[in-house]
Structures are given as structure tokens and as C-alpha cells.
Chains A and B, each alone.
Chain A
Amino acid sequence: MPMADPLLVFTDVEHRHRLPAPKPWKPWATRPGAGVHCVNLSLYSGCVLGLIGPNGAGKTTLLRMMAGVLPLQGGTVTGHIKTSTSGEVVDLRTWAGHMPEQVRWQGRSTVTETLHQLSEMRGQSSQRLDQLLTLVGLHDRADEPLDNLSQGMRQRLSIAAALLGSPRVLLLDEPFNGLDPVAAEAFAGLVRRLAEKGVSVVISSHMVTQLEGLIDRIALMHRGQLLDEGPLEEVERRLDLEGRYQLRGKGDLRSTKVLEELGNDVLSWEQDDETWTVILRGDHHNALKIGLDSGLEVMSWAPLRPNLVEWLCAATGMSFDDISLEVSSSAMLPLQTMEVNEDE
């Protein structure tokens, strides 16, 4: 999609969490720990940005910084209201609606009362609450106490809270957690509608497949840094991950000359008892023809999107084994050398 001028531009933004580092003479001492380091990112009106990365990559920290919940320890944020007007953003909270990961809404207050309270905190009237509740599918539950809400309903309430005050930027932290497939599809539809209305949406996830078909741009995070960012196809091209296809079928692949004929186009292949899978790149029409002409039964033929580990491998140059181990241990050390005295 053609990109207009960015709505918000984050330049070299940084936030490092403080970790306890007690000393005998100063038990309350802290030191800088993991966080987000030197991130440059632009948010566009009407664009859905997928912020992907493994656990501990810094996605939540970055979203909290964008929401104004965590202070920027470095860098600047510039806001562009119109093409001609721009300036440094003083309070990001007036721009952004933030939906944190897994809010356990609880208490005897009803859904409406809770949203009323948050509206009052924004200094706004609650006139549009009915519309908002209808939009997120909570209209019938408006008078329900928070304690009675299901997980899916709580997620809907979280997005309703994020939409209060019609924010220009919507920040969603792992919004698909706890949603059943039906609710997830409805949620994706809602995100698309909001983007069509010009809202800039940022969705963080460690599950790339959940974001397929929903995001326009992708930002890849690892160890508190932004590894790459841009339109999905462009980033795939840059990282040499585009144009991959998966061919699946029944029969014994090894008894045919399919693999020989496909030659260097084959990236990997697998043969189970009855089925086979080939992942390849190149002339996909030709590959399909070879598959069909071989006499084997072709069950499916589809473009293949990279998964999270493949994205990370491509962006960092690390091997699959190394990156898998690192992701599973949620490594938090920055990639770049940080010139900060850790004993501060």
C-alpha cells in the first residue's frame, strides 16, 4: 500500500529496565538491565504494523514506551498531525490507545462503570460508550460485573478501553492470547476496520502466523533491538525469504525424479510413510508442472511464509540451532555493545 507521511516517528528511542543490585551500604541500588535500545520506527496512518519477536525481545517494553507508560530514556518522538505540521510529542498518551497483554479485569464494577472511570481519567465525556461497546461486541454485557466476564470478554473490554478517546495510534500487545478462533477472526476484522478508518495499529506477537493477512508492515525485534522494519514483502525480499513455496503430496517421492528435476530450487524436503513435502523457491509454475507430471498425487501447493525462527535466522545470520536455543532461553543481552557502565 502507498505510504503517506508518517503519523509518529520514533528516533533512537531507548529504555532500559532497572534491576536490583543491592550493595551493603546501598541496599536499594539498581543497575540498568535489559530493555529497548536505539529503535527507529515510523507509524503510518491506516497501516497495521506487526511487531514480532521471541519472548523477551522487548516488544512489550517498546509498546509501553509508545503508549507513554514507560518514559523514554533517550531519543525523540515526532508527531505529524497534518502534512505541514509536525513537532515533538510531549505526551504520547494523548495519541495512543494501549491494550496491554492479559488484563484480568476484576471487581464488582460493571463494564460501563469501568469505561466511565477510564473516560473520566482521559477528561472526556462518556457519550460514545454505547457505540464503542457495540463495536467490540460487548453491548449485551454492558451491565455485567467485571468478575463475571470470560477471558474473551475481558480482551474485548481491553480493546474498548484502548479505543476510548478515538486514538490515532492503537497499540495491541499480544491481543490474540486467550481468544478462540472465532473471537480471533472477529478481532482481526475489527483491527482491519479501524485501519480503514485511518487508525495506525501496532500488534505485537510471537506467533507470525496469527498476523498473516492482517499486517501491512513488519518490525522484527530481537534482544531489545529492531532488526528490520518495512512493508512485509520488502522485508522478505531484503532477508531473502520471498518466493518460497510448499508442495505436498502422497506417494513415494524418492521413487521419482522430481527432486532431480527441481534441482537447486529445492530448499528442503521430507518424506513420511505416505506423504511428502518439498519446500522450494524459483519458478513455481514449473515446479507444480513437474510435480503433476511425475504421477504423484499433489495435495497442496501454496506460498510459504517464514516462521519466527526463520525471520530471526535471516535477520541475525545465526544458525537455526543457535537461534532456537537462544529463543527458548529468552536471552536479553543487547546485540550491540552498550557503552553504559553496568555498575551505575
Chain B
Amino acid sequence: MSDLRRVLRVARRIRIDRLANIRLKVMLPILLLFLPGLAWGFSDPNIVLPGGHQPDTAMEVLFYASLGVVFGATMCAVLMAFDGVSKDRASGMLEVQLAQPMPRAHQAAALIIGHAQAILLPVYALLLITVVVVNHRMDAWPSLTEMLVYAVSTGLIVLWYTLFALLASTTAREQGTAVAFGVGVWFFFTFLWALITSMVAYASGVSVGEANDPAWVALEGMLDLLSPNGVYHHLLETQLPTVDRGVAAWQSWLAALLWTVLPWWALHRRMERLVP
């Protein structure tokens, strides 16, 4: 059996186990409200957003509906993956797994892929419904490139939060700490990041929240590269020609690459040193 096949087989087992998890069934209605639900609202022809803006393309609606991904899918990733290692560690099953002659780097890869797949399958299914909802309401489809970027970006942000949660799970000796760490990271990037941005802007002498101030827009754009949620929105903005926050597409993709590689490497390192 080749190494890749072995990794995918183990990942498949993890995915099946996680898909049957009661937590996913709890999260599904929330995801349903967040993804197609938000798209339904934002594609209303009479909607007027703060600032008087009205989304008029399918991609713009998808962009606004991506709030559902940021709030719902990422939380789902944390809640599905926080006990990916700590649960098996507490039960002793981890020791049995580590005793199998499968390189730990491959075990880490299987964990990541299995968990990310378990979260992405329902998320992608709901995204398809979202696109259909947008078409039903606006009579417009997003282009193939827009769909591709949307799908890849969503896959990446879910992967990042899965990595954070798994990292917490390998570090924490018990599951309470793992979930606290995962939710803490989610809370920090989802809610507190705006505060960090404001503080940096204030310290730099930039007017906070002035959407027409190029200095604020540029600062916010650069700081967003340091947050997974910000990078996610930068990636989506590559498909919105009217939005320019001073960050080139290659910078966004480079940041996405770093947000993928660094936590993956950290998890790999943790797995190599993991003691049951």
C-alpha cells in the first residue's frame, strides 16, 4: 500500500467517524441558517446595506454571505476537531495508534485531512445550495473562476481552524483546555481582531473606521493579512474588481500559503514529539 493511499484510507476512517458525530448534527441547522440563509437575505433586491451599498452581482452576495463561513464553518471546525487527539490520548487509544508502523507525519496528515473533509463536505453542500439560492433570487450565476476561488478560500479557512484546533488538541492534556484554546483563537480572530486593528490604527495616528480614508483602508488591509479571517476576505476580494485595499492578489495567496504551511508544520512537529 503506498504512503498516500494509506494516509487517505486512515483519513477516510476519521472522516466517517466525524461525520457520524452528534456535534455535526447540532451544527448543521446553524450552518444552514448562516450559509444559504445569509445568501437569501443579501440577495434580496430591496436590501440596502450600511453605507447605502446594494450588492448587485452574485459574487458580491457570496462575499457578504461569507460572513456565515467566518462565523459558522470556522466554529464548526473548532468544535469538530478540538478532541481529535486529546480524546484518544485520554482513552489510551492514541498509544495504540502511535505504536503502529505509520510515520507520525503521515498520521498527522491523516488527522488533518480527515477532520477537514468531515467539516467541508456539509459546508460545500450548503455552498452549492447557496449558489442556487442566489441564482433563484437574482437570476445570475457566479462565474466558474469566482466559484473556484470561493470554494478554495472556504476550504482553506476551514483547514486553518481545523489545524488550530488539532494543535490545541495535541498540546492540551485534557479536552477542556483544548476546546478553550480553539474557541479562544476563533474568538480572537473573529471578534477581537477589529479591536487590535483599531488599536494599531490609533497608535499609528490613523483615523479609526474612516472608510474613505486611504490610510485606514491600507492599514486595515495589511493587518488583515495577519488574521486567517482577513486573508480569507482578501482572497474573496480578488474576485471583486471594485474593492481595492492596497493588497495585491499574490500577497493574499502568499499569506494563505503561510497560514497553511506554518500551522501544518507546527502540528507535524507536535505529533513527532507527542507522548501518549
A contacts, CB < 8 Å to B:
17, 64, 67-70, 91, 93-94, 96-98, 100-109, 113, 116-118, 120-124, 158, 161-162, 164-165
Given A100-B95, A106-B91, 17 additional A-B pairs, CB 8 A: A69-B98, A70-B275, A91-B101, A93-B99, A93-B100, A98-B96, A100-B276, A103-B91, A108-B20, A117-B13, A118-B96, A120-B1, A121-B10, A122-B100, A123-B1, A124-B1, A161-B96
A63 to chain B, nearest CB (A): 10
Q: Which residue of B lies closest to A68 (CB)?
A: B99
Q: How far is the CA of A109 from the CA of B15 in the complex (A)?
A: 12
Count of chain A to chain B residue pairs whose CB atoms are closer than 8 Å in the complex = 76
With A107-B17, A108-B20: A122-B91 Cβ-Cβ less than 8 Å: no
B98 — which chain A residues lie within 8 A by C-beta?
69
Contact A67 B101 (CB under 8 A): no
B194 to chain A, nearest CB (A): 29
Max chain A C-beta neighbours (<10 A), residue from B1, B13, B93, B99:
B99
Contact A100 B92 (CB under 8 A): yes
Max chain B C-beta neighbours (<10 A), residue from A69, A104, A108, A122:
A69
With A105-B93, A109-B17: A69-B6 Cβ-Cβ less than 8 Å: no
Contact B10 A67 (CB under 8 A): no
Q: C-beta contact mask, B1-24 vs A, less than 8 Å → 1, else 0? A: 100001001100100010010000
Interface size class of B (residues with CB under 8 A): 20 to 34
Contact A121 B276 (CB under 8 A): no
Contact B92 A94 (CB under 8 A): no
Q: How far is the CA of A69 from the CA of B95 in the complex (A)?
A: 7
Q: How far is the CA of A68 from the CA of B100 in the complex (A)?
A: 9
B236 to chain A, nearest CB (A): 36
Which residue of A109, A113, A123 is within 8 Å of B101 (Cβ)?
A123
Contact B95 A94 (CB under 8 A): no
B88 to chain A, nearest CB (A): 9
Q: How far is the CA of A206 from the CA of B62 in the complex (A)?
A: 64
